[in-house]
């Protein structure tokens, strides 16, 4: 049989390679992302439910924080992993809105699906979405309110933002207590960089949530201690604090050393020399006038007893993080030698004490003059409860931080989404062609937030959305879901506020993720092998920047 000039079939991909491409592949990826969205939907809002996740090592986590859930779900689908990434990015950048961003991205993909099935090019949809998100962000910036105008009490404004962030969290019933704690924590930081890593969070099992404490300074658990420790004073007012990176232990020089002696006196001289070395160090520390000695390295029993006899408190093996925060709070600097320690190397605070909290003893440094750090001691009945309290506090702290840096806020409870949705619908009517449909689809996708809030609260979503659409068409720009009256209302006047940055970041991330999924029309899955794939040629189309390899 004559094939003419047709080239014979060339096998480029390794046997067992799975290559899928075309419109069906995009729809398949969208379906995977929608499955992730469906998992997170019930957790949205004040009346959202929590999810119990049991990991492979049988560790249980109860949470409704989107980023935490997605991280623990261990998503393997390469397209769905995009949602995990944007949720983590939202958590790192803004701290809150991790569930919203995932639900928005899933809804944007769901709205794009019918267009793809009808044969519209994914690039046209992407172009429409890009235009829509640009208009939406401009509208949010236009609507956002500068909360510092003509208002002196900045703290009250920050507390309102923090309380909104806590509405969907486990600690909502204790919100008034924790809101004050979060705002105190952020305001204690350096105003220039607001580094939230300097807010230490210690979890102590036992007690009620409201037994949690805010320490304007540093607190850390009592370190390993030797005999003589109990004789040391446990409370000081205005002490001098010396921070060291020096080991204060009596060590016989037997490691990797061989000493030959002929007389007992020679051996005694060696022992005396070892004692003399450490006693000299201890005398130099005593001469500095320090009342509290902290060291990253061990402080042995000889040194502990020496300090106890002279009414000096000591703690060895202090964790690096805790030591760094102590320096930030009390001043001074870490010394790596005991010689030539000057007064400016020492720090101070108003009050130091060691107290019992739960089953542990904690060292507290309070009233620190240079306090650019603080510590939150969280209490709770179960380990999972305290872990969720910590995640909730983190979200609220990040929101307060962003509100302090970016003074613009918008109303929550689905209000801003409905207003932007109305604006995009009106805009879409002013243009012709396919873009009209796509921008309208983007506007419809935004309604997923108020709709899901209603469904999770047990309200009639269809009725509520109709009432919201009517209110917004009459110019009620801040109308959203009101959970107290189980109706709709002006959320701005009820102080349901969120930083505009949260909404802008969520919309941008969700649209970017959607466009990324829409741009991938080919997936190549290689069977795991060593270097067999090293010289494999890429299949047709992979060089067009549209392939997404599966790991």
Active-site residue, from 43, 61, 82, 98 = 98
Over residues 453-478, the mean pLDDT reads 91
Q: Facing residues of 479 across strands?
A: 490
Tokens of 430: 């002013």
Per-residue pLDDT, 209: 83
Dmax over CA atoms of the chain, in Å, equals 107
pLDDT digits (tens, 9 = 90+) for 288-309: 888 999 999 888 888 899 899 9
Per-residue pLDDT, 541: 45
On the question of a common fold for 18-146+411-544 and 154-216+376-406, the answer reads no
Q: Facing residues of 52 across strands?
A: 62
User: Cα separations (Å) of 100 from 34, 65, 212, 247, 497?
Assistant: 14, 10, 29, 51, 15
Over residues 260-271, the mean pLDDT reads 78
Per-residue pLDDT, 537: 44
Smallest CA-to-CA distance from 377 within 395, 70, 416, 363 is with 363
Confidence of residue 427 (pLDDT cuts 50, 70, 90): very high
What are the domain boundaries of the chain? 18-146+411-544, 154-216+376-406, 218-370
Q: Which helix (H) or strand (E) holds 473?
A: helix 461-473
Active-site residue, from 43, 61, 65, 68 = 65
Q: What is the CA radius of gyration of the chain?
A: 31
Per DSSP, the residues of 360-388 read EEEEEEES-TT---EEEEEEESSHHHHHH
Confidence of residue 428 (pLDDT cuts 50, 70, 90): very high
Tokens of 495: 């102080």
Per-residue pLDDT, 28: 86
For the domain spanning 154-216+376-406, the CATH number is: 3.30.260.10
Confidence of residue 10 (pLDDT cuts 50, 70, 90): low
Per-residue pLDDT, 542: 44
User: Cα separations (Å) of 470 from 291, 463, 483?
Assistant: 69, 11, 19
Burial class (CB in 10 A: 0-12, 13-18, 19+), 233: middle
Per-residue pLDDT, 441: 94
Per-residue pLDDT, 126: 93
Confidence of residue 257 (pLDDT cuts 50, 70, 90): low
Over residues 339-345, the mean pLDDT reads 85
Range in 105-119, 180-194, 284-298 with the lowest mean pLDDT:
180-194
DSSP state of 198: G
Tokens of 276: 């003399």
pLDDT digits (tens, 9 = 90+) for 21-40: 677 888 888 898 999 889 88
Residue 214 neighbours by CB under 8 Å, 6+ apart: 180, 181, 184, 185, 374, 375, 376, 377
DSSP state of 216: S
| Number of residues that make up the chain | 551
pTM: 0.72
> Active-site residue 65, yes or no?
yes
What gap in Å lies between CA 550 and CA 525, rounded to an integer? 5
Per-residue pLDDT, 15: 59
At residue 532, what are phi and psi to the nearest 5 degrees?
A: -65, -30
Whether the Cβ atoms of residue 239 and residue 361 lie closer than 8 Å to each other = no
Range in 51-65, 154-168, 373-387 with the lowest mean pLDDT:
154-168
Over residues 156-185, the mean pLDDT reads 82
Residue with tokens 């604090």: 241
Residue 234 has pLDDT above 50, yes or no: yes
Active-site residue, from 43, 99, 102, 514 = 99
* Most confident of the following: 71-85, 200-214, 444-458: 444-458
Better pLDDT: 17 or 64? 64
CATH superfamily of 218-370: GroEL (3.50.7.10)
Confidence of residue 103 (pLDDT cuts 50, 70, 90): very high
Residue with tokens 């420790």: 229
pLDDT digits (tens, 9 = 90+) for 429-448: 998 888 999 999 999 999 99
Q: Facing residues of 364 across strands?
A: 219, 353
Smallest CA-to-CA distance from 219 within 200, 203, 234, 240 is with 200
Confidence of residue 536 (pLDDT cuts 50, 70, 90): very low
CATH superfamily of 18-146+411-544: GroEL-like equatorial domain (1.10.560.10)
Active-site residue, from 91, 322, 395, 521 = 395
pLDDT digits (tens, 9 = 90+) for 481-509: 988 888 888 988 888 888 888 899 999 99
Q: Facing residues of 377 across strands?
A: 202, 213
Bridge pairing between strands 292-295 and 313-315: parallel
Per-residue pLDDT, 538: 47
Residue 532 has pLDDT above 60, yes or no: no
Confidence of residue 383 (pLDDT cuts 50, 70, 90): confident
Residue 421 has pLDDT above 90, yes or no: yes
What gap in Å lies between CA 504 and CA 397, rounded to an integer? 19
Q: Facing residues of 356 across strands?
A: 361
Better pLDDT: 210 or 442? 442
Number of H helices, E strands in the chain: 16, 21
> Active-site residue 61, yes or no?
no
> Active-site residue 9, yes or no?
no
């Amino acid at each position: 049989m004559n094939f003419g000039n047709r080239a014979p079939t060339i096998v480029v991909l390794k046997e067992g390679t799975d290559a899928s491409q075309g419109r069906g592949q995009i729809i398949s990826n969208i379906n995977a992302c929608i499955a992730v969205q469906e998992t997170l939907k019930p957790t949205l809002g004040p009346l959202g439910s929590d999810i119990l996740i049991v990991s492979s090592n049988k560790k249980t986590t109860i949470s409704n924080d989107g980023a935490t859930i997605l991280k623990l779900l261990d998503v393997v689908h390469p397209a769905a992993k995009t949602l995990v990434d944007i949720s983590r990015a939202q958590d790192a950048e803004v701290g809150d809105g991790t569930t919203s961003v995932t639900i928005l991205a899933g809804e944007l993909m769901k709205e794009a699906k019918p267009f793809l099935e009808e044969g519209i090019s994914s690039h046209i949809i992407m172009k429409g979405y890009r235009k829509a998100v640009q208009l939406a962000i401009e509208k949010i910036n236009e609507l956002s309110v500068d909360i510092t105008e003509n208002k002196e009490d900045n703290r009250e404004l920050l507390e309102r933002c923090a309380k909104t962030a806590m509405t969907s969290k486990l600690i909502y019933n204790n919100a008034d207590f924790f809101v004050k704690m979060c705002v105190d924590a952020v305001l204690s930081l350096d105003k220039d960089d607001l580094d939230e890593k300097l807010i230490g969070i210690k979890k102590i099992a036992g007690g009620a949530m409201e037994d949690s404490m805010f320490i304007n300074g540093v607190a850390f658990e009592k370190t390993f201690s030797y005999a003589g420790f109990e004789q040391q004073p446990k409370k000081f007012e205005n002490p001098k604090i010396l921070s060291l990176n020096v080991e204060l232990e009596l060590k016989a020089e037997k490691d990797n050393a061989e000493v030959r002696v002929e007389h007992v006196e020679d051996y005694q001289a060696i022992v005396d020399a070892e004692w003399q070395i450490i006693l000299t160090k201890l005398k130099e520390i005593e001469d500095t006038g320090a009342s509290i000695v902290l060291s990253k390295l061990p402080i042995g029993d000889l040194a502990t007893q020496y300090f106890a006899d002279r009414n000096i408190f000591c703690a060895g093996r202090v964790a690096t993080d805790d030591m760094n925060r102590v320096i930030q709070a009390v001043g001074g600097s870490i010394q790596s030698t005991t010689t030539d320690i000057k007064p400016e190397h020492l720090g101070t605070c108003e009050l130091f004490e060691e107290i019992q909290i739960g089953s542990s003893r904690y060292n507290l440094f309070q009233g620190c003059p240079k306090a650019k750090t603080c510590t939150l001691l969280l209490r709770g009945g179960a380990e999972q409860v305290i872990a969720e309290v910590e995640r909730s506090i983190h979200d609220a702290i990040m929101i307060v931080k962003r509100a302090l840096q970016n003074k613009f806020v918008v109303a929550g409870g689905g209000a801003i989404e409905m207003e932007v949705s109305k604006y995009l619908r009106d805009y879409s009517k002013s243009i012709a062609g396919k873009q009209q449909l796509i921008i309208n689809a983007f506007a419809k996708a935004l309604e997923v937030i108020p709709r899901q809030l209603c469904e999770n609260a047990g309200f009639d979503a269809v009725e509520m959305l109709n009432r919201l659409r009517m209110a917004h068409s009459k110019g009620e720009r801040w109308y959203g879901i009101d959970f107290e009256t189980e109706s709709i209302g002006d959320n701005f006047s009820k102080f349901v506020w969120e930083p505009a940055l949260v909404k802008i970041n969520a919309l941008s991330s969700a649209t970017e993720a959607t466009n990324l999924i829409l741009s991938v029309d080919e997936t190549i899955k290689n069977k795991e092998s060593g270097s067999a794939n090293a010289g494999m040629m890429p299949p047709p189309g992979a060089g067009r920047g549209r392939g997404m390899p599966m790991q």
